[in-house]
Amino acid sequence: MKSRRYPEQIALLPYIGKWTFIAGLIALLSGTASAFFLFALDRATGWREAHRWIIWLLPLAGFAVGWVYLKLGSSVEAGNNLLIDEIHDPKKVVPLRMAPLVLIGTVISHLFGASVGREGTAVQMGGTLADQLTHVFRMRHAERRILLMAGISAGFASVFGTPLAGAIFGLEVLAIGRLRYDAIFPCMVAAIAADQVGMAWGVHHTHYAISGVVAIGFWSMGAVLAAGIVFGLTGMLFAKSTHAASAFMKRHVAYAPLRPLIGGALLAVAVWMVGTRYIGLGIPVIIEAFQQPLAPTDFIGKFVFTVASLGSGFKGGEVTPLFYIGATLGNALAPLLHLPFAMLAGLGFVAVFAGAANTPLASTIMAIELFGPEIGPYAALACVVAYLFSGHAGIYRAQKVGMLKHRLPPVARDRKPPA
């Protein structure tokens, strides 16, 4: 075997230069798209809150989005799962139409009052725009995987303002129990730069204040462990319920545009009965969860509205609703576990997401970026416990099991890992 002509560190410089340039392009595209999306989302939310009668048009809006996807978007309807599938088994470049379709579909869903999030939209736009560079730079399959992962990281980071969590999310979300370190540099550069691009466009992210974190002790660690179990079971139930609702609608309603029409009608009636507290992103309620005791049923309301919205075919993401569910659930558990409302709301915010998405590392880092380093040890414990207790279910069907979460008993060990 011939020795290297140059030291490894010198030979690495072209790689660093290449991926810094490419990741910078991804960041510019994804950060700009996310900024436009967030501005559009703010306008849509403001208009809906000023004209609440528009909720009665939600069935028609759902039908319109469903019809457009049926005619133009059948190849991209899988959304985040399509991106993950292409990373696992690269076949063809993701059609560019995914980006405008999911953007318009999500804004319409929010304008008329569906309970959906924004992460899915930003991730799909980031991945789609990044993948368009495949032909420009003549990427091989291995490089295209990195390209898509960097796009996912950039989209997540720019929509939430959490660059480190965004970078790790792009590495962690693909397979349970396994990280893709070959993409760590492009994902880091794309996520950090995309967040900066968004801020350069004037994007302002929500700040959540945790007034105090209790000192680490036997009781506080035990209480957080118990809460983590509840958060993980809730994340698992959310993932399974969303998939079950979607499967039920597809099984009983053959014509795709009718699914969001039916779901929209049910949601409109539900809003008429209980009010608008559980529609849209729900950021004001999340902020309330950090400030004062809330009704212990708030997390149930958001859970049901979101499962109905996503299960019937409205476009958007799952993550912000999971933040809402987790924060309000933590708020409800705080007096039972004798912990501060803000602290447990923050832990629920990230831990339910960790359990539902099987991303404990990204969720822990997100907690530190959003709430400060003091909550780090508690966030790590809550997110890891939630990850373990959510089983091998998850909100992303294309996510593979790279490694089982824990050693199984001898009887169960012989069974195949869940698909």
pLDDT interval class at 91 (50, 70, 90): confident
Q: What is the pLDDT of residues 225-271, one digit of tens each?
A: 999 999 999 999 999 999 999 999 999 999 999 999 999 999 999 99
Q: What mean pLDDT do residues 322-349 have?
A: 97
Q: What mean pLDDT do residues 390-404 have?
A: 91
pLDDT for the residue 43:
97
pLDDT for the residue 409:
62
pLDDT for the residue 419:
43
| Cα(77)–Cα(102) distance, integer angstroms | 9
Higher pLDDT, residue 368 or 1? 368
pLDDT for the residue 417:
46
Domain ranges of the chain: 19-201, 218-401
Domain 218-401 has CATH 1.10.3080.10: yes
pLDDT for the residue 3:
56
Percent of the residues in the chain that have a pLDDT greater than 70, as a whole number: 96
pLDDT interval class at 2 (50, 70, 90): low
Q: What is the pLDDT of residues 12-32, one digit of tens each?
A: 899 999 999 999 999 999 999
Q: What is the pLDDT of residues 146-189, one digit of tens each?
A: 999 999 999 999 999 999 999 999 999 999 988 989 999 999 99
Would you say residue 415 has pLDDT above 60? no
19-201 and 218-401: same fold?
yes
Superfamily for the 19-201 domain? Clc chloride channel (1.10.3080.10)
| Cα(347)–Cα(56) distance, integer angstroms | 35
> CB–CB of 110/48 below 8 Å?
yes
pLDDT for the residue 1:
47
Would you say residue 411 has pLDDT above 50? no
